[in-house]
Amino acid sequence: METTESSYRMPFKEAAKALYDGRKRGAQVAYFIGGEITLHPDLPKIIAFAKKVDYPYIQVMSNALKLSDYGYTKTLIDAGANLFKISLHGYTAKIHDGLVGVPGAYAKIIKAFENIRELGAEITINYTLNKFNYKTIHKFTELITEKFKIEDFNIIFPHYTGMMKDNAQTLKVSVSQAEPYLRKMLDVLEKSKAKVENAILINFCPCNLPRATHLMTEWERPDADLKDEPMYHLEGYTERIYQMKEELRTKNKSCAKCVYDKRCMGFEKWYVDIFGAKEFKPVIKRVKPVNTRSTDSKIKEFKSMEVS
């Protein structure tokens, strides 16, 4: 269930039922997403229920403002949360605080990192590209891998829908604008001794950055190795992530010449509405992949139960 209405609070009973049903259907990951899920007063109780019904992975996605409070973070981890996905959109306080509109937010994230580490849970990061942070993506990568030793982070290319569409004139960045800085990011990763998970680039197509195809996820159709695992929603319906993504995408005629054509689902129609489709040019020959020290993604392809 997706809602950003601050007045909406999923009752404990409903969340517990959905978690129970999801686990019975084989879900291994309980995702707690938002809005901002830490504003839910029953979150510790709901997490404890997820733990009781034996989800191996219990992930909380958050802006980390409340996680800067050691006592609150301990409550969630004691209840069973073992993964925290934190939104950090800049390598400096100036960039991040400016983007989220909260002075001091960056400092709270750094404190949240300390709390989560000390309490023994894992940290992953979401970094959503936009006009204010795309030129420093390489610096962000350096900070995350070298200073904070975080292996799992997502660089999300914006989906031009919802608020992102409404604010596109202020925030928009095209794949061609981002490309030189993404190359710098790959240089950082290649030189670094840090290990990174093998699925860090979200909502990119191989033709945007062919040397990093192995670091991209959710661009290709599922095959025998990559199942279109279901995502169970609280209302009881189930979505197949890749099927849903493919329906939102399109291709150019010239894609037929691309070495990735059979596997690739194409690029988002929302992107085309703003920038057109001429930047997506076929990859005629495979190129040598950038040499990163990759580890396998732990949970990205599992069945999941999403609670928001």
Ligand X SMILES: C[S@@+](CC[C@H](N)C(=O)[O-])C[C@H]1O[C@@H](n2cnc3c(N)ncnc32)[C@H](O)[C@@H]1O
User: Which chain residues interact with ligand SF4 by CB under 6 A?
Assistant: 205-207, 251, 255, 258, 260-261, 264, 266-267, 280, 282-283
Q: Does 33 bind ligand X (CB under 6 A)?
A: yes
- Cβ burial, residue 103 (10 Å; 0-12/13-18/19+): exposed
Selection from ligand X, ligand SF4, none that 159 binds (CB < 5 to 8 A by kind) is ligand X
Peptide bond into 34 cis (omega under 30): no
Q: Does 21 bind ligand X (CB under 6 A)?
A: no
The interface with ligand X within residues 51-90 (CB under 6 A) comprises 61-63, 87
CB of 205 to ligand SF4, least distance (A): 4
* Angstrom distances, CA of residue 270 to CA of 169, 203, 250, 266, 282: 14, 12, 10, 12, 20
The pairing of beta strand 153-156 with beta strand 122-128: parallel
Selection from ligand SF4, ligand X, none that 263 binds (CB < 5 to 8 A by kind) is none
CB of 245 to ligand SF4, least distance (A): 13
From 15-23, 72-80, 161-169, 250-258, span contacting ligand X (CB under 6 A)? 161-169
Mask: binding to ligand X, 112-131, rule CB under 6 A, as x and -?
--------------x-x---
Q: Which of 26, 56, 104, 162 binds ligand X (CB under 6 A)?
A: 162
Helix ranges, 25-104 (H): 43-52, 70-79, 93-100
At residue 269, φ and ψ (nearest 5 deg) are -65, -30
CB of 213 to ligand SF4, least distance (A): 8
Q: Does 36 bind ligand X (CB under 6 A)?
A: yes
Task: Give the separation between CA 174 and CA 158, rounded to whole angstroms.
Answer: 9
Share in percent of the chain as helix, strand, coil (round to 5): 40, 15, 40
Q: Do 60 and 84 meet the contact criterion of CB atoms below 8 Å apart?
A: yes
Selection from ligand X, ligand SF4, none that 255 binds (CB < 5 to 8 A by kind) is ligand SF4
From 29-37, 180-188, 223-231, 232-240, span contacting ligand X (CB under 6 A)? 29-37
The CA dihedral of 249, 253, 257, 261, to the nearest 10 degrees, is 20
From 30-38, 45-53, 232-240, 295-303, span contacting ligand X (CB under 6 A)? 30-38
DSSP classification of residue 183: H
Q: Please say which residue, 67 or 264, places its beta carbon nearer to ligand X.
A: 67
Q: Do 266 and 285 meet the contact criterion of CB atoms below 8 Å apart?
A: no
Q: Does 133 bind ligand X (CB under 6 A)?
A: no
Q: Do 108 and 68 meet the contact criterion of CB atoms below 8 Å apart?
A: yes
Selection from ligand SF4, ligand X, none that 260 binds (CB < 5 to 8 A by kind) is ligand SF4
What is residue 306's three-state secondary structure? strand
- List residues near ligand X by CB under 6 A: 33-34, 36, 61-63, 87, 126, 128, 156, 158-159, 161-162, 164
